[in-house]
Copies of this chain bind each other. A is one copy, B any other.
């Protein structure tokens, strides 16, 4: 083997050694785009009160830990959180509206989190209008080449002095 050929071959081997991933590698930019797309799919499903659609964003099994607007303190596992979503959708007539504002996505190649403000609106079963702004944070892991939410935190602020939850705040 000539020196020149051995140099070329070694350059190729070195480049291969620098990319040890067996699955398609992901950049932080890819992650941002993929998470934005996940949130788009979630929003569409939320509007249609499509439980399977909203749950598609979450990691299967017991990994998910969710802190929802409503009690209890935490939901563990995707089945418990699915029941929480289904119960929420049951409270409304017709479709919901949802708007995400001030969305931030902070991501690396395999871990990311997002946060922002979210307006949810709809018509309750008794015909009363419902509209509130909440804060959301979502944590993601890239598992087997796909991004999944493994953590959810959704809330409204509260007043310790009065014990009142502030569903009436606007950004």
Contacts of A73 in B (CB 8 A): 117, 133, 135, 157, 169-171
One complex includes copies of this chain to the number of: 2
Give the bracket for the number of chain A residues in contact with chain B.
35 or more
| Binary per-residue interface labels of chain A (6-24) against chain B in the complex, 1 for a CB within 8 Å, 0 otherwise | 1100110110011000000
Near B by CB (< 8 A), chain A positions 96-111 give 102, 104, 106-111
Near B by CB (< 8 A), chain A positions 115-171 give 115, 117, 130, 132-133, 135, 137, 139, 141, 150-151, 153, 155-160, 163-167, 169-171
Are B14 and A67 touching (Cβ within 8 A)? no
Are A139 and B113 touching (Cβ within 8 A)? yes
User: Pick the contact of A74 from B107, B135, B159 — CB < 8 Å?
Assistant: B135
Least distance between A162 CB and chain B CB atoms (Å): 9
User: Pick the contact of A67 from B109, B132, B135 — CB < 8 Å?
Assistant: B135
The chain B residue with its CB closest to the CB of A18 is B18
Q: Complex: how many Å from CA A137 to CA B139?
A: 9
Near B by CB (< 8 A), chain A positions 5-47 give 6-7, 10-11, 13-14, 17-18, 28
Q: Complex: how many Å from CA A69 to CA B65?
A: 19
The chain B residue with its CB closest to the CB of A109 is B108
Q: Complex: how many Å from CA A69 to CA B164?
A: 11
* Residues in chain A within 8 A of chain B (CB atoms): 1, 3, 6-7, 10-11, 13-14, 17-18, 28, 65, 67-74, 102, 104, 106-113, 115, 117, 130, 132-133, 135, 137, 139, 141, 150-151, 153, 155-160, 163-167, 169-171
